[in-house]
Structure 1
Amino acid sequence: MSYIKENYTDNLENELRYLKLLSKQYPTIADACIEIINLQAILNLPKGTEHFLSDIHGEYEPFIHVLKNASGVIKRKIQDIFGNSLMEEEIKSLATLIYYPEQKLELIIKKEKNIEDWYKVTLYRLIEVCRRVSSKYTRSKVRKALPKDFAYIIEELLHEESNNSNKERYYNEIIKTIINIGRSKEFITAICKVIQDLVIDRLHIVGDIFDRGPGADIIMDTLINYHSVDIQWGNHDIVWMGAAAGSEACIATVIRSSARYGNLATIEDGYGISLLPLATFAIDFYGNDECLEFKPIIENDKNYSDKEINIISKMHKAIAIIQFKLEGAVIKRRPYFSMEDRLLLDKINYEKGTINLNGKEYKLKDTNFPTIDPKDPYKLIPEEIELIEKLKSSFLNSEKLQRHVSFLFAKGSLYLKYNSNLLYHGCIPLNDDGTFKKVRIGASGKEYSGKALLDRLEIIVREGYFHKDNPEAKLYGMDMIWYLWNGSCSPLFGKDKMTTFERYFIEDKETHIEKKNHYFDLEDDEKACNMIFEEFGLDPKTSHIINGHVPVKIKKGESPIKANGKLLVIDGGFSKAYQSQTGIAGYTLIYNSYGLSLVSHEPFESTQKAIEEEKDILSTRVILETEVERMRVADTDIGKELKLQIEDLEKLLNAYRTGLIKEQI
């Protein structure tokens, strides 16, 4: 490689200011050369493994297990290493130890008669697994993943040479000493965590962490502590983000949705938000109402008494009516949202107990509306105003919720381009002719479509949460967040309307229909996918769209692979609420240096059974694409950045050698 090019001199002078700053980090020719050599070497390492998951919906136990077992990858690594020397039961036991080291060690210590021998054998096996999973990374990167207490020891053991008899006693003594000084448990726990971290280089969450299941807050705590993660916001995430920003319509929606699935514990226990004011209000106004249409959907593993179900039902109805009123205020405040068809409270004949929709009259299943004034149905009564103020204060002052939502903003976005893949949760709004749908944003009437639409929406969403000095801009941002939850042109929602009111109050299912955006009609169309790739600046020949949002109904013959592999829908039903439709319990898309594979998961019984009975999630792997040549770091987005760094360092080197900058020796 030639570092000296005569025509560089003029350009170097123009870039002198930047190069002088760079020279502080690499003050000599030797420093610059070493870094160039290092970066060039990194470019030739295998590409890191990416895992993609979506629509987790609060199901924290299977989600955490899938992270710990790397969607079955860790067990396959163990089988590759020890398949000829260990029995299946031993492989299962070693895998479970790697997933849950603290809990599994407690059981093993009680059971093992000669624990020191077990420690010795197990430590050697764990080191071998760790050596295998770390082999594709630089020593520097592996070193950063090591726990401080054992970093030096693990690094020494990982780079043991099996044929080096000179150091054999040295390595054996390290293992022996770890056991003798009583640090085996801590060391095993540490190395298991390193294995978990190194198997997944980057985690992508393609939307919908919240709602349905019981532990969205636990999932968020896990993601905050994860070593490398990004998040594409889903519609269920965005409504929680709006609630944390102070949007009253979003707060009511979050509580109503949680009540519907008997999941108020996430709000109360997870985020410390008291719902006692809502319970008191509900009993006061709906005490004699059985609220039959508002009974929560209870999963089999949730135990609620009849009394608890009765109270939740009343709370559910109370907050639903408040939600409809608050939504009415947003719709009237933002006529350019074009959601007048969602103003339904004024279409009710309160005397007859009917509602007129599109010229047709329907009988209501529930006609008890003690807080609605038929003459002004969207007006909040004083008690509702007081209740909403209390709830808003609790959401705004929940330290944990604010921390989690701040993380969603820091690590999240509406879409992401990463290593030739385009990630977004829902859709890119399209017209019926397949062209990008133009969406009016703001009172000015300016229209946006395609990539520009998502870029503009993301700016407004961030203003809705972060804006402090401009109340009108903040209110508009919060209203837009609510629109993204259920608006007809929302890329996160992807339907013409959300028929929440109709499902509660009207028997006729024709009123429940929510028509999907034309994007979903064209998922299998390669031309439509290519158009989207070009819109986002990606190569149609090598790129993929990765979606969540719509559960893939495997039981009905649907496939997650669309448009000859150009589009992949990875919502396989992590949420128990959807598993009867999908027939499985979630997908993981894996993208490593050998290509793309899709892993489908069977339902997860429990963490307790995984530890005590070593019951792993049964997963089936399908190879989608195989690379002709193994992908290297040079082929990735990180590789592009490293190449730019190398170019800058080469310019610095030339500046040193031509005398434009002096070495700091």
Structure 2
Amino acid sequence: MSNFYKLLKEKFPRKEDIVTEMINLEAICQLPKGTEYFISDLHGEYDAVDYLLRTGAGSIRAKLLDCFDWQKIVAVDLDDFCILLYYPKEKLAFDKMNLSASAYKTKLWEMIPLQIQVLKYFSSKYTKSKVRKQLSGKFAYIIEELLAEIDRNPEKKSYFDTIIEKLFELDQVEDLIIVLSQTIQVLIIDHLHVVGDIYDRGRYPDRILNRLMAFPNLDIQWGNHDVTWMGAASGSYLCMVNVIRIAARYNNITLIEDRYGINLRRLVDYSRRYYEPLPSFVPILDGEEMTHPDELDLLNMIQQATAILQFKLEAQLIDRRPEFQIHNRQLINQVNYKDLSISIKEVVHQLKDFNSRCIDSKNPSRLTSEEEELLQQLMIAFQTSESLKKHIDFLFEKGSMYLTYNDNLLFHGCIPMHSNGDFKSFKIAGKTYGGRDLLDLFESQIRLAYARPEKHDDLATDIIWYLWCGENSSLFGKNAMTTFERYYVSDKVTHQERKNPYFKLRDKDDICTALLQEFDLPKFGHIVNGHTPVKEKNGEQPIKANGKMLVIDGGFAKGYQKNTGLAGYTLIYNSYGIQLISHLPFTSIEEVLSGTNYIIDTKRLVEEAKDRILVKDTTIGQKLTKEIKDLDHLYRHFQEYDD
């Protein structure tokens, strides 16, 4: 321990330095806690996600109502001002096109003092040093001066106005307004929690990740779709063909080819050589138009090729991993290749749209030499994509299977359970795992696989695939993934995927209390859970177990919105309590600019704090308190730690 204090003394070589730091940390502990924002199941829908981050899920508008008496500010429309704060570049361009030059300049003059007042109000709960870090280098000094003089006396009015006039003269006013809006956006969310599934059917998970990488404070709890991309980068051929298949199914091949720079030419040639378009593989467009009809056929054939490759590889994995206990999913081996039928639960079904041209009926899971070479080439392309590696590195750096933070438990998916509430067990290498231990096992194996990308069929890499579709996977949460049946069997009874009992049990207060205890959290904590859309139109509620369980599937994927009745939920936890936000579908930035698309539907109070929550009451506060104790010890024993 003495070495620790010697190192600490190197950082604070004078007692005055220790005093300054202790006072600073003590003061921070007395500030209101920052606003946490929870978002889940982003599914590649960049524009909708970006809108919620820009608006703080309505928090900016709500704070503006607190900041000003809008009945007295007759010259400025609240909604119009909000749009400027949300989309400053686009709003300025819109106004410049629709207003006269003089009216546009007058409006800019009016906006800057308001923005400065808003920034001052929003930053009042933070230290000056924290606010200073968020200011753009280009305008940092100017903004600090404007903040200092916004509540100016008449004698200094000319000082403030001269700064603005000079910015007009130098054609810098628009840039200043943009920076002010962006700074306000950053300050409204102090910490962002992304509760899984950045990837899926949406077109722009890469843009979302780039957006998140610029966020100062965030964490990620991995979702099932995230993990398959992580698995592909870690060396899993199964995960790789799965993400390609899903991309082809949802018309998102451009993500792989154009933006990740992964060459699919050999796969395209292979797909065209052995497959032809079939009805079961028509891509799902989510309302988007295809510019070239031939692209539909190509996506159809790629989807078929990768599906067969996936089923072959899956059968091989099941053979080498009997401990996974998913032998019933070796469906490609169970096909009767004489009449192309399959027996499922003692019922014989004729297969539809099943192209067996590349399958050896005597050894169905065997890859051809051409397929082996193709997979090897694709893996090299995936693992040498710099842009993909940047994103996967970020997921590993900021992500985990679960997080405990400020007495809340965050995870995607479920904690696998039996119907009586006991944890389901998963046995590997002679040891049984369940509950928290199971999630810890999964995380350690995911990280091990990524550390050894040259290994393609080791246990760690295979466990990533198990997380995608295994019965005891906390990210999947069902008894089986019926991809094979959905493609090739007409009887929809075979398509059913039975959910883990967790999804019913999570409605119960005692179950949620037990889950919190499993993760060493107090019974007054909350569980924030993503993964499953809440069908509110059928009466399902996102707030469960007397407020202990909060289900916040963001509902961004357009394909799910018709089943849920809205566009999902996000969660805000500030110093006053917890609010659940429900959304309407996002349409377009153009409609936002015209004032016709405000997607915040309703806000529900989950829990109101009896007293305003301070930093000292949070996870960060606990760390700061420990730092203060260490500094206090060093101060009182300063001479003992001389070299």
Q: Which residue of 2 aligns with 1:523?
A: 506
1:87 and 1:395, CA in 2 relative to 1: closer, same or farther beyond 3 A?
farther
Aligned match for 2:288, one of 274, 281, 301: 301
Distance 2:278 2:269 in 1: 15
Deviates more, 1:180-189 or 1:499-508: 180-189
Residue in 1 that maps onto 2:205: 216
Bigger Cα displacement from structure 2, 347-356 vs 51-60: 347-356
Counterpart residue identity of residue 390, structure 2? R
1:189 aligns with 2:172: no
Is the 8 Å Cα contact of residues 234 and 452 (structure 2) preserved in structure 1?
no
Partner in structure 1 of residue 101 of structure 2: 113
Q: For the structure 1 residues 523 and 24, does the alpha-carbon distance in structure 2 shift closer, same or farther, using more than 3 Å as the test?
A: same
Deviation at 1:159, TM superposition (A): 3.1
Which residues of 2 match residues 156-235 of structure 1 at below 5 A? 156-160=145-149, 162=151, 164-235=153-224
User: Which of 621, 632, 637 is the matching residue for 1:639?
Assistant: 621
Look up the match of 1:49. 35
Given candidates 382, 395, 398, the residue that maps to 2:382 is 395
Answer yes or no: is the 8 Å Cα contact 2:533–2:568 preserved in 1: no
Q: Is the 8 A contact 2:79 2:595 kept in 1?
A: no
How well do the aligned residues superpose, as a CA RMSD in angstroms? 1.8
Name the CA distance, whole Å, in 2 between partners of 1:398 and 1:516. 36
In the TM superposition, 1:240-389 aligns within 5 A as 240-286=229-275, 289-389=276-376
Q: Which amino acid aligns with 1:537?
A: D
C-alpha distance in 2, partners of 1:27/1:103? 50
Superposed displacement of residue 423, structure 1: 0.3
Structure 1 window deviating more from structure 2 (244-253 vs 176-185): it is 176-185
Matched, 1:556 2:538: yes
Partner of 2:640: 660
Q: 1:89, CA displacement in angstroms?
A: 7.4
**In terms of mean alpha carbon deviation, does 570-579 or 606-615 score higher?**
606-615
* Aligned match of 1:574: 556
How far, CA to CA, are the matches of 2:229 and 2:2 in structure 1? 48
What SS class does the counterpart of residue 71 from structure 1 fall into?
Answer: coil
Q: 1:558 to 1:85 in 2, by over 3 A?
A: same
| 8 Å contact kept, 1:239–1:254 | yes
Q: For 2:139, what is the secondary structure of its paired residue? A: helix
Deviations 1:439-491 (A, max 9, x none): 112xx2211111111112111100111126x848x832211111111111000
> Which residue pairs with 2:441 in the alignment?
456
Q: Give the equivalent residue in structure 2 for 1:593.
A: 575
Q: How do residues 146-157 of structure 1 correspond to structure 2 at under 5 angstroms?
A: 146-157=135-146
Query: Separation in 1 of the partners of 2:479 and 2:597?
Result: 43
2:52 is aligned with what amino acid? V
* Structure 2 residues not aligned, in runs of 5+: none
1:119–1:179 CA contact under 8 A, matched in 2: no
Q: Secondary structure at the match of 2:248?
A: helix
CA contact (8 A) 2:57 2:600 kept: no
Q: Equivalent of 2:82, from 75, 80, 95?
A: 95
Asked whether the equivalents of residues 202 and 252 of structure 2 are also in contact (C-alpha less than 8 Å), the reply is yes
Name the CA distance, whole Å, in 1 between partners of 2:539 and 2:74: 37
Q: Which amino acid aligns with 2:170?
A: I
Deviations 1:285-321 (A, max 9, x none): 11xx331111111121332543221221111111101
CA contact (8 A) 2:251 2:285 kept: yes
Q: Distance in 2 between matches of 1:292 and 1:355?
A: 20
Which residue of the partner structure matches residue 36 of structure 1? 22
Q: 1:256-296 deviations in whole A, cap 9, x for unaligned? A: 1111122222212221222222221111111xx33111111
Whether the aligned pair in 2 keeps the contact of 1:134 and 1:142 (CA below 8 Å) is yes
Deviation at 1:660, TM superposition (A): 2.2
Quick one: distance in 1 between partners of 2:458 and 2:260?
Answer: 24
Structure 1 residues 170 and 24, CA, compared in 2 at 3 Å: closer, same or farther? farther
Structure 2 SS opposite 1:149: coil
| CA separation of 1:24 and 1:164: change in aligned 2, threshold 3 A | farther
Which deviations, in whole Å up to 9, do the C-alpha atoms of 1:111-136 show, x marking residues without a partner?
24224332221111111111111111
Mean CA deviation greater in 206-215 or 296-305: 296-305
Contact 2:410 2:527 in 1 (8 A): yes
- 646-655 or 165-174, larger mean C-alpha shift: 165-174
Work out whether residues 295 and 313 of structure 1, in 8 Å CA contact, stay in contact via their aligned partners in 2: yes
- By how many angstroms is 1:619 displaced? 2.8
Q: Are 1:440 and 1:446, in contact at CA under 8 Å, matched by a contact in 2? A: yes
> What is the one-letter code of the residue matched to 1:511?
T
Provide the residue aligned with 1:430 in structure 2.
Answer: 417
> What is the rounded CA distance, in whole Å, between the counterparts of 1:418 and 1:37 in structure 2?
25
Which residue in the other structure is 2:611 paired with? 629
| 2:516 partner amino acid | F
Equivalent position of 2:599 in the other structure:
617
TM-score (norm. length: structure 1):
0.93
2:44·2:201 contact (CA, 8 Å) conserved in 1?
A: yes
Bigger drift between 259-268 and 191-200 goes to: 259-268
Q: Deviations over 1:528-584 (max 9, x none)?
A: 11111111110012x100001110001111000110110111014111010011111
The sequence identity of aligned pairs, in percent, is: 44
- C-alpha contact (below 8 Å) 1:552/1:572 kept by paired residues: no
Q: Work out which of the residue numbers 401, 415, 425 in structure 2 matches 1:414.
A: 401
Structure 1 pair 241/45, CA: closer, same or farther in 2 (3 Å)?
A: same
Q: CA deviation at 1:608?
A: 2.9
Residues 126 and 379 of structure 1: CA distance in aligned 2, closer, same or farther (over 3 Å): same
Amino acid at match of 2:513: N
Runs of 4+ in structure 1 displaced over 6 angstroms?
Answer: none
Query: How far apart are residue 167 of structure 1 and its match?
Result: 3.7
CA–CA distance in structure 2, aligned partners of residues 504 and 17 of structure 1? 63
Distance 1:182 1:418 in 2: 45
Structure 1 residue 447 corresponds to structure 2 residue 411? no
| TM-score when normalising by structure 2 | 0.96
